[in-house]
Chain A
């Protein structure tokens, strides 16, 4: 009997402590928001700068996302051309083309005979008359190949090209990259640059928060000093400042979302009209729910990180140690 009573009292005490702990956190959370509201000018300036940095990163991200979607919609025109050696006969080349057709990663094989090549050349080059002087046809037989999945699978295309190099009849192998693929490569490059840019902008956001928190800490020196003297631990002292960092990041994140969405809405009509002109059916994508969650998470995280970065050193600087 006695034991259970003691136990339940312990439990009560435990829950009391937990409640006190949550109370402290909730208090720090809202009082730090209250403090930001109390100095609206400074807060708005800081948050705006942070929001602009985040807007840049997020809108680049959205741009790349849309570009990828756009290039993904277009069909690839990657081609591989096999130039055969001059002494390969027409019959031999037909056999080779048939053999290549059996390869499952190839969509289409076209055989261009010497004669066809010459006719084409005459038609398109404008040297028609001059060429008829030639006694022999100098053009090689060409086998044109359209690989499957040619858009994304650069490695696959390379492997394919290597395998052709083994045939003794083939003189050399050449890849003709379609413009869509070029665009695709450019998009990949931009994607990588956007990633680097995002890292830089994140560092900027961390520094802005850090500096803001440092100034805030200096304004509240007395408070920190007194808290230390009545026995506050480091984590107690830094908690409200971490929450300030969180709010700075979170609010900036929301603002960035608004800005990005507004920009996307403004651009939506012109872009979709443009895509109609090119007979595309492109539907622009916005920041999804998931993207938004990630944006807000990263924004808050950067805010907390920026605050945390300066707090360790700055709090220790306030005497007594």
Chain B
């Protein structure tokens, strides 16, 4: 599903963020990406979402070489991904429904289909009945789940989560991990960047560890 082949990334105004990283994430697999702060976790996820371009090596997403994707087609690659951010990146002037519906609207789904899918996914993350609320009226955990619902609503092949449990208490973290595992069961691959050693070690999924841009365990 996702393959890194000797990938290196250097920011124009900084040092090496990633050095010669290679790994392969299979379809329906969950993996954690850990490492100290500044190890390159966010950078790795950004490369997959084509938010940054790598300097060396190849990244293959479902067989497609990301460095060869034409600018015009980048949006269509992103439609196969579900992105989850530590700061959620929700639009606070739109309702929960509108936030979650955004990826579907962007892809041109019809209204009935949008409505049906949004309700289904909100139900899955335990937010049914909160469609009409605004993000700021929700708790931190609920907001995070809105972000997850939005990442999943388009039925992506791969979910990329950057510190999805960053500022949540352990109870909520576990709950959110449960949601990811549900998605895994329907064949979605999940890559979760987290420096939360506790969470990572307890659950027993595959762990990729970055140290100063180099992959030390995979």
Interface residues of A, Cβ cutoff 8 Å to B: 16-17, 19-21, 23-24, 222-223, 225-234, 236, 319-321
Residues of A within 8 A of B102 (CB): 226-227, 230
Task: Say yes or no: is B177 at the interface (Cβ < 8 Å to chain A).
Answer: no
Residues of A within 8 A of B91 (CB): 222-223, 226
The reply to whether B78 and A231 contact each other, CB–CB distance below 8 Å, is yes
Residues of B within 8 A of A23 (CB): 110-111
Interface range, B side: 20 to 34
Distance from B33 Cβ to chain A, minimum over Cβ atoms (Å): 19
The reply to whether A226 and B89 contact each other, CB–CB distance below 8 Å, is yes
CB closest residue in chain B, given A20: B110
Number of A-B residue pairs at CB separation under 8 A: 62
CB closest residue in chain A, given B114: A20
The reply to whether A319 and B51 contact each other, CB–CB distance below 8 Å, is yes
Residues of A within 8 A of B172 (CB): none
Q: 5 closest A-B pairs (Cβ-Cβ)?
A: A231-B79, A320-B51, A231-B78, A230-B103, A20-B110
Interface residues of B, Cβ cutoff 8 Å to A: 46, 49-52, 71, 74-79, 81, 83, 89, 91, 102-103, 105-111, 150, 154
Residues of A within 8 A of B50 (CB): 320
For chain A, what secondary structure do more than half of its interface residues adopt (helix, strand, loop), or is it mixed? Answer: helix
Residues of B within 8 A of A222 (CB): 89, 91
Distance from B21 Cβ to chain A, minimum over Cβ atoms (Å): 20
The reply to whether B154 and A230 contact each other, CB–CB distance below 8 Å, is yes
Residues of B within 8 A of A230 (CB): 78-79, 83, 102-103, 106, 150, 154
A236 touching B106 in the complex, CB below 8 Å, given contacts A230-B78, A230-B150, A320-B50 = yes
Report the separation of the CA atoms of residues A321 and B81 in the bound assembly, to the nearest whole angstrom: 16
Report the separation of the CA atoms of residues A229 and B106 in the bound assembly, to the nearest whole angstrom: 10
